[in-house]
Amino acid sequence: MLHVVIMAGGSGTRFWPESRRERPKQFLKLAGERSLLQGTFDRCLPLVAPEQVWVVTNAVQAGQTRQQLPEIPAGNVVIEPCARNTAPCIGLAAVRLLHQDPDAVMAVLPADHVIQPPEVFRGALESASELVAADGSRLVLFGVPPNHPATGFGYIERGEAVADSKNAWQVASFREKPDRKTAEEYVRSGRFYWNCGIFVWRADRILKAIQAHEPEMHDRLQQLASVVGTADWEASLSEQFPQMNSISIDYAVLEREAGICVLEAAYQWDDVGSWHAMPRLIGADDDGNTVIGRHRGIDTKDCIVRTTGDHLVATLGLEGCIVVHTADATLVARTDDENAIKKLVELIRDEGDERFL
């Protein structure tokens, strides 16, 4: 049966002051009435029942995760004792799924991306399930056809077509974030996809791959598998999980494994990396301004303004700025450097202003 595993343990300082330690990006309502996490959940229905949706998160965010997704069983919220990157996270989810469903197929989704339209996404999910049903050894990645030469994403190069599919290919290579010129070549070639971090595979298959490439991690996962559903689970998790190698599934498995498929997933995809994504998500007005909330401006161009409650943000002679007002903190930034906000948050932490983090 197809299960969805949503990875939702991010910190998301790039959306400060809206995002905080206890309110990371996936909980924010950036592009509508539903948060990114809720949007990720909604997008899977009705293809997957709420009982087949799992969320892996951390202890701090578990409460809010359950609050935002009351539809899923409380036990489907899996809590990592600490952050160990995606390989241990996915291994942990696989162990939990197999305990309930030995034939589990898992679709692994990031919690904080925006995908449109949902029908196309569900279509891709169905195609991937069929690929895995036809051959249980397959590891399927979703590849988004690039619509511009982005330098901030990883790319997947496709090779030979998969025989029983008209939109799946063997993966020829993974390419890290390219420079501009290389990205343009990728787009022109028609053979490259954006790696959007969505995977579909059988739970037992990914555990076998982990066994092959990260045997120690696999041993620890087997320890956990032996106590799922028992009183020893918590203690074993606290002991085993922190000792696992902190490594991404990409490095641990995908780049080392042969026979990985990429499925062309022709939806609009945005990783919502920073405030700069807002114009893409909700559009801009004639002056290039993207506004959420109450705003008045004169001589204001290419700005992103977000304000909460009834608070008014008024701007004058402002160009290319981000203004984000929250109840206790306001950000005013003029920057093309998406990492700069991270530095600002670090400064605030270093100055001891804990309550703003």
Site residues for a second copy per CB under 8 A = 16-17, 296, 298-299, 307, 310-319, 321, 323, 325, 328-335, 337, 340-341, 343-344, 347-348, 351, 353, 356
Min CB(288)–a second copy separation in Å: 16
* 309 CA to centre of own chain: 28
**Contact present, 206 and 90 (Cβ < 8 Å):** yes
Three-state SS at 143? strand
* 139 CA to centre of own chain: 18
Q: Which is nearer to a second copy, 70 or 317 (CB)?
A: 317
CB-side exposure of 355: number of CA atoms within 13 Å? 3
Q: Which is nearer to a second copy, 170 or 308 (CB)?
A: 308
**CA gap 168, 254 in Å, rounded:** 16
Q: Which is nearer to a second copy, 176 or 350 (CB)?
A: 350
Q: Which is nearer to a second copy, 172 or 357 (CB)?
A: 357
Q: Which is nearer to a second copy, 160 or 354 (CB)?
A: 354
Min CB(26)–a second copy separation in Å: 22
Can you say whether the dihedral through the CA atoms of 67, 73, 76, 80 is positive or negative? positive
**CA gap 7, 273 in Å, rounded:** 16
Min CB(150)–a second copy separation in Å: 23
293 φ/ψ sector (left φ>0, alpha ψ -120 to 50, else beta): left
Token pair recorded at residue 167 = 């939109």
Min CB(330)–a second copy separation in Å: 5
Min CB(327)–a second copy separation in Å: 8
CB-side exposure of 356: number of CA atoms within 13 Å? 20
Can you say whether the dihedral through the CA atoms of 303, 9, 124, 169 is positive or negative? positive
**CA gap 171, 169 in Å, rounded:** 6
Q: Which is nearer to a second copy, 37 or 341 (CB)?
A: 341
Which residues share a beta bridge with 192? 157
Min CB(217)–a second copy separation in Å: 39
Residue 81 preceded by cis peptide, ω within 30? no
Q: Which is nearer to a second copy, 181 or 311 (CB)?
A: 311
Token pair recorded at residue 15 = 């959306």
Fill in the amino acid letter for 192.
Answer: F
Min CB(18)–a second copy separation in Å: 12
Min CB(22)–a second copy separation in Å: 17
Q: Which is nearer to a second copy, 74 or 316 (CB)?
A: 316
User: Which of 100, 94, 105, 99 is CA-nearest to residue 207?
Assistant: 94
Min CB(28)–a second copy separation in Å: 18
Quote the radius of gyration of the chain (alpha carbons, Å): 21
**CA gap 36, 38 in Å, rounded:** 5
Can you say whether the dihedral through the CA atoms of 351, 355, 356, 357 is positive or negative? positive
Q: Which is nearer to a second copy, 21 or 99 (CB)?
A: 21
